Structure 1
Amino acid sequence: MKALVVYYSRTGNTREVAARIADELGCDIEEIHDTQKRTGIIGFIKSGYQAARGKDTVLEPYEKDPSSYDLVIAGTPVWAGKPSVPISTYLKENRSKIKKVAFFCTYGGSGAEGTFRTMKEILGMEPIETVAITEREIKEDTCDCKIEPFVRDVEEPFREPSEPR
Structure 2
Amino acid sequence: MKSLVLFYSRTGTTTKVANALGTALSADIKEIKCPRYQGGWFAYLRAGYDSVKGRLPPIDVPDLSFDEYDLVIIGAPIWTSYPALPLRSFLARKPKLPSRVAVFFTLGGHSPAEKAVKMVEGLLPVPLEASLELPHDQVIEGRDSDTIETFVAKLNAIDG
- TM-score in terms of structure 1 length: 0.89
Name the structure 1 match of 2:26. 26
Alpha-carbon distance in 1 for matches of 2:51, 2:142: 28
Alpha-carbon distance in 2 for matches of 1:132, 1:6: 16
The alpha-carbon distance between structure 1 residues 149 and 61, as it changes in their structure 2 partners (threshold 3 A), is closer
Question: Does residue 81 of structure 2 align to residue 81 of structure 1?
Answer: yes
Name the structure 2 match of 1:162. none
Question: Does residue 22 of structure 2 align to residue 6 of structure 1?
Answer: no
- The DSSP-based 3-state class of the residue aligned with 1:45 is helix
Shift of 1:96: 3.1
Alpha-carbon distance in 2 for matches of 1:65, 1:2: 12
Alpha-carbon distance in 1 for matches of 2:127, 2:152: 17
Name the structure 2 match of 1:47. 47
* Greater share of strand: 2
Once the two structures are superposed, residues 132-151 of structure 1 have per-residue CA deviations (whole angstroms, 9 ceiling, x without a partner) of: 10111112211011100101
RMSD across aligned positions (CA): 1.5
Name the structure 1 match of 2:139. 138
Name the structure 1 match of 2:120. 119
Partner letter of residue 24 of structure 1?
A: A
Unaligned runs of 5+ in 1: 160-165
Alpha-carbon distance in 2 for matches of 1:88, 1:98: 18
Alpha-carbon distance in 2 for matches of 1:91, 1:148: 26
Partner letter of residue 79 of structure 1?
A: W
- The DSSP-based 3-state class of the residue aligned with 1:128 is strand
Once the two structures are superposed, residues 52-94 of structure 1 have per-residue CA deviations (whole angstroms, 9 ceiling, x without a partner) of: 3332221124132223211110010010001111111112224
Alpha-carbon distance in 1 for matches of 2:46, 2:98: 29
Once the two structures are superposed, residues 98-156 of structure 1 have per-residue CA deviations (whole angstroms, 9 ceiling, x without a partner) of: 42210100011123111111111111443111111011111221101110010111122
Shift of 1:38: 3.3
Unaligned runs of 5+ in 2: none
Alpha-carbon distance in 1 for matches of 2:139, 2:75: 14
- TM-score in terms of structure 2 length: 0.91
The alpha-carbon distance between structure 1 residues 101 and 137, as it changes in their structure 2 partners (threshold 3 A), is same
Single out whichever of 62-71 and 79-88 deviates more from structure 2.
62-71
Name the structure 2 match of 1:163. none
Alpha-carbon distance in 2 for matches of 1:150, 1:112: 16
Alpha-carbon distance in 1 for matches of 2:115, 2:23: 27
Identical aligned residues as a percent: 30
Single out whichever of 95-104 and 113-122 deviates more from structure 2.
95-104
